[in-house]
A and B are shown apart, each in its own frame.
Chain A
Amino acid sequence: MHIVVCIKQVPDSTQIRIHPVTNTIMRQGVPAIINPYDLFSLEEALRIKDKTGARVTMLTMGPPMAEAALRKALSFGADQAVLLTDRKFAGSDTLATSYALSAAIRKLGEEEPVDMVFCGKQTVDGDTAQVGPGIATRLGLRQLTYISSVVDLDLAKREITVQRRSEGGVQVLKTALPVMITMLEGTNTIRFGTMDDLFRAARTEIRVWSKDDCVEDETKVGLKGSPTVVSKVFVPKPRAEKAKFIEAEGGEPAGVAAAAVETIFAAQPKLAAGLLARAAAGA
């Protein structure tokens, strides 16, 4: 069994700020983290490794500093890591990213056939949820997105059964390896690696691949290979007025609440009518 887990290093979006004067995004000093959704997939891959002894390879495409994300992933227990980095990859959109990543996975597969690819449900910076399906489509892997649990993995038959979140319910799907899986958030918690894992992570040589190591058609990566064009980036307009504060004489909760109810009923007559009708019907 060989599992490839794709992770992305992202800026911690809770710490990004808009420069008060220039109105541009301030990334300086914002820590880079592993995309939080990727950790759910990584943990699932590690659980499969625990059960089956599978080999887990981490893969990321990004600037040289993304090595830190790989090293951290190794410290959770992954076996090896590949950093795909090249200036030619800069500006890749999801189509180009999935092209480059699938090229790298194909090359990894030549060393040892890949049975499962795990991706995060989505990233917190790009936030598209498109790269995983892009990889699956390009590599002909069965696509299993929004998986809430891996119910069964039969290595002898090479079959996998999963629960997949869909609108209004959960689908139970059965399919055959090789697959591309994205795990739903909250399905598990990333482990705290052992001391041995940490030593191994600190000592593992991270393999660094450039475009020339795996990509055949360089017009398909980077800006050239990206059909989408970002034509404008801007800060959301703040709402013009702030909230109107509801106050009552004496400031007693009862008075304020009564005033609030009146305000709501006046502002939303339709809602008020609905509520009254519901009350009248004895609901």
Chain B
Amino acid sequence: MVEKFDAIVVGAGPSGNAATYTLAKAGMNVLQLERGEYPGAKNVQGGIMYAAELEKIIPDFRDDCPTERHIIEQRIWLLGDDSYIGTNYRSDAFNTDAPNRYTIIRANIDKWFSERIRKAGALQICETTVTELLRDASGKVYGVKTDRVGGEIHADVVVMADGVNALLAKRAGLHQELAPQNVALAVKEILFIDPDLIQQRFGLKDEEGVVIEIMGKVTKGMVGTAFLYTNKESLTIGIGCLVSDFKQAGVAPYKLLEDLKNHPVIKPLIEGAEMKEYAAHMIPEGGYNAVPQLTGDGWLAVGDAAHFNNAAHREGSNLAMASGRMAAETIIELKRAGRPMTAANLAAYRRKLDDSFVMKDLKKYRDLPDIMHANKQFFGAYPDLLNGAAHNLFTVDSVDKLTKEKEIMRSFVKKRSFFGLMGDAIKLARAFR
């Protein structure tokens, strides 16, 4: 006999977990399917988790959630060939009982979240891949098919939380292929290191943590960023660039990471660490303009599958959790009102998103991806210019400061015309406005 559920959630990443948990808490009969051997087995995340969204779903998450360190300092570095220029912000005010940001190891979080989900009463099945959506003649989704014998399962609604590739929606013709300029490929490693060394090198105590966001020469002129995060007993280091740029430049991603690790500014920070885990994963970075269709008869898309990612602030998991929660709330409201899961009724989900930070933020940065893509000087010329300028300014060599400033200005204009500089400033200002 074919099993039937109120809802099926495909995927056990942050978006699927948020949806499943919310549905189960509301007493819905929900099934979550995950292809990994266990939740988190296949998932990749750099490792910053934002508390606000998780707190909305699980208010007492801090009681047992296996976070690594709470962040008290943010650095943004622009790397030159052998230097960096950047900003730091550090504040003791981040040392509160309810910190806002944590470094995490994603596999641990997923496992923890899943346990909470099972306790909330959802049925969870792993090592099972959903291969297709079941649709009737009208196109309405009424369930899924898995790779198991007897794998047909029915539900009133299917929540697609299957991540950036969104294969299910694509296979069903609901979503289009991702354009290479709308996805980044990121590689990262977890490096094991003596916690004392972390405390020393980053000036930390107890569970305090630092994040370093990195731009500059390390992406070899491609549109991309890198990062270095402090965990309890490890460091996470990674770098990602647009797939279209990788294709064009013919650079191997792991080589980029190797070069980053060997950069004279980075190397001393990771000295003595041992590689524990290497992973590569895609990030949807097309922004607002790349958001696909979000609902249809009997289905919703959430998280990375819906392209909810704020590349400018490296936020993904919080948008994923927010969208998962809102999808669940929509389903719960319809169910309670006894209304069917039609495209028209499910459209309430889109309205919730529009009213929330998810769509508002994506809209705000809607032009950023295009600007970055069309203006590679942000990733090549500027890092050099800024680092050169700083070097010039901070070298005490009996040249008067006014002359130095003039030299710096001249070097900028030489590399990029005065109007070019002005134009860049305006473009950026607009994108971030």
Contacts of B276 in A (CB 8 A): 17, 26, 29
Contact, CB under 8 Å: A194 / B150? yes
**Contact string against B for A residues 10-41, beta-carbon threshold 8 Å, 1 for contact and 0 otherwise:** 00000001011110001011010000000000
> Are A198 and B148 also in contact (CB < 8 A) when A17-B274, A20-B274, A28-B233 are?
yes
A193 within 8 A of B: yes
* Binding-face segment, B86-94, B122-130, B236-244, B254-262: B122-130
B109 → chain A closest CB, angstroms: 12
Indicate if the CB atoms of B194 and A29 lie closer than 8 Å. no
Option from B3, B125, B192 in Cβ contact (under 8 Å) with A26: B192
Across the A-B interface, give the 3 residue pairs with the lowest CB-CB distance, nearest first.
A195-B148, A194-B149, A195-B150
Give the bracket for the number of chain B residues in contact with chain A.
Answer: 20 to 34
Inter-subunit contact A75/B127 (CB<8 Å): yes
Is A199 on the interface with B (CB-CB < 8 A)?
Answer: yes
Say yes or no: B148 contacts A193, CB within 8 Å: yes
A203 at the B interface (CB under 8 A): yes
A29-B276, A68-B38 known; A195-B192 Cβ under 8 A: no
Task: Tell whether, in the assembled complex, residue B150 and residue A19 are in contact, meaning their CB atoms are under 8 Å apart.
Answer: no
| Residues A29 and B277 in contact, CB atoms below 8 Å apart | yes
Contact with B along A164-177 (1 / 0, CB 8 A): 00000000000000
- Pick from B37, B149, B194: contact of A195, CB below 8 A: B149
Instruction: Give the interface residue-count category, chain A.
Output: 20 to 34
Q: Is the CB of A195 within 8 A of B123?
A: no
User: Can you offer 28 A-B residue contacts whose CB atoms are under 8 A?
Assistant: A17-B274, A17-B276, A19-B192, A19-B194, A20-B192, A20-B273, A22-B194, A26-B192, A26-B276, A29-B105, A29-B107, A29-B276, A31-B37, A31-B38, A31-B41, A68-B38, A192-B148, A194-B148, A194-B150, A195-B146, A195-B148, A195-B150, A195-B152, A195-B153, A198-B127, A198-B128, A199-B123, A203-B123
> A266 interface residue, CB < 8 Å from B?
no
Using CB atoms, name the residue of chain A closest to B127.
A75
Closest Cβ of chain A to B16, distance in Å, is 16
Q: Which residues of A contact B37 (CB under 8 A)?
A: 31
Within 8 A of A (CB), among B392-406: none
In contact, B192 and A199 (Cβ under 8 angstroms): no
B272 within 8 A of A: yes
Alpha-carbon separation in the docked complex, A193 to B3 (Å): 16
Given contacts A31-B41, A195-B128, A195-B150, 12 further A-B contacts (CB under 8 A): A17-B274, A19-B192, A20-B273, A20-B274, A26-B192, A29-B107, A68-B38, A194-B148, A194-B149, A195-B146, A198-B128, A198-B148
Q: Is A202 touching B123 in the complex (CB atoms < 8 A)?
A: yes
Task: A229 to B391: give the CA distance in the assembly, Å.
Answer: 63
With both beta carbons as reference points, the residue of chain B lying nearest to A19 in the complex is identified as B192
Query: Which of chain B's residues has its CB closest to A201's CB?
Result: B125
- The docked-state distance in angstroms from the alpha carbon of A254 to that of B331 is 72
Contact, CB under 8 Å: B272 / A199: no
Contact partner of A199 among B107, B125, B233, CB < 8 A? B125
The answer to whether A212 has its CB under 8 Å from any CB of chain B is: no
Any A CB within 8 A of the CB of B151 = yes
**Residues of A with C-beta under 8 A to B125:** 198-199, 202
- Could you say which of B153, B192, B273 has the most chain A C-beta atoms within 10 Å of its C-beta? B192
Q: Which of B146-161 contact A (CB under 8 A)?
A: 146, 148-153
Cα(A195)–Cα(B123), bound, Å: 13
Considering the complex, give the chain B residue whose CB is closest to the CB of A22: B194
Residues of A within 8 A of B273 (CB): 20
A-B contact count (CB 8 A): 53
* A241, CB-defined interface residue at 8 Å: no
Residues of A within 8 A of B105 (CB): 29
Interface centre among A29, A192, A193, A195 (most CB of B within 10 A): A195
Chain B residues with CB under 8 A of A198: 125, 127-128, 148
Cα A199 to Cα B29 with chains together (Å): 14
- In the complex formed, the residue of B with least CB distance to A26 is B192
A20 to B195, CA, bound (A): 12
Output the least CB separation between A88 and chain B (Å). Answer: 25
Which residues of chain B in 228-284 are interfacial with respect to chain A, using CB atoms and an 8 Å cutoff?
Answer: 233, 272-274, 276-277
A249 adjacent to chain B (CB < 8 Å): no
* Distance in angstroms between the alpha carbons of A199 and B41 in the assembled complex: 20
In the complex, what distance in Å separates the CA atom of A193 from the CA atom of B148?
7
Chain B, range 259-312, C-beta contacts under 8 Å to A: 272-274, 276-277
CB-nearest residue of chain A relative to B233? A28
The answer on a CB contact under 8 Å between A21 and B272 is yes
Instruction: Flag whether A110 is at the interface (Cβ < 8 A).
Output: no
Question: What residues of A have a CB within 8 angstroms of the CB of B124 in the complex?
Answer: 202
Interface assignment of A196: CB less than 8 Å from any CB of chain B? yes
Contacts of B150 in A (CB 8 A): 194-196
**B272 and A20 contacting across the interface, CB-CB below 8 Å:** yes
**For A28, what are the chain B residues with a Cβ–Cβ distance below 8 Å?**
233
Within the complex, the shortest CB–CB distance from A62 to chain B, in Å, comes to 17
Central interface residue in B3, B149, B153, by most chain A CB within 10 Å: B149
- The residues of B that contact A75 with a CB separation of less than 8 Å are 127
Q: Tell me which residues across on chain A come within 8 A of B194, comparing CB atoms.
A: 19, 21-22
Residue of A nearest to B128 (CB): A198
Q: Which residues of A contact B3 (CB under 8 A)?
A: 199
What residues of chain A lie closer than 8 Å to B123, measured between beta carbons?
199, 202-203
Quote the shortest CB–CB distance from B152 to chain A (angstroms).
Answer: 8
0/1 string, B3-39, CB within 8 A of A gives 1? 1000000000000000000000000000000000110
Chain B: minimal CB distance from A197 (Å): 8
B268 CB → nearest A CB, Å: 16
Closest chain-A Cβ to B276's Cβ sits at a distance in Å of 7
A21 CB → nearest B CB, Å: 4
For A197, give the chain B residue with the smallest CB separation.
Answer: B148
A-contact 0/1 string along B218-233, CB 8 Å cutoff: 0000000000000001
Those of A21-71 within 8 Å (CB) of chain B: 21-22, 26, 28-29, 31, 68
- Residue numbers in B under 8 Å from A203 (CB-CB): 123
Complex interface: chain B residues within 8 A of A196 (CB): 150
* B41: A residues at CB distance < 8 A: 31
CA distance A192 to B127 in the complex (A): 10
In Å, the complex CA distance between A144 and B344 comes to: 65
Please give, as numbers and ranges, the residues of chain A lying within 8 Å of B107 by CB-CB distance.
29
Question: Per-residue CB proximity of A77-106 to B under 8 Å, as 1/0?
Answer: 000000000000000000000000000000
For the complex, give the distance between the alpha carbons of A19 and B124 in Å. 35
A19 contacts across to B, CB distance below 8 A: 192, 194, 274
Interface flags for A198-212 (1: CB within 8 Å of B; 0: not) read 110011000000000
Bound-complex Cα distance A193 to B126 (A): 12
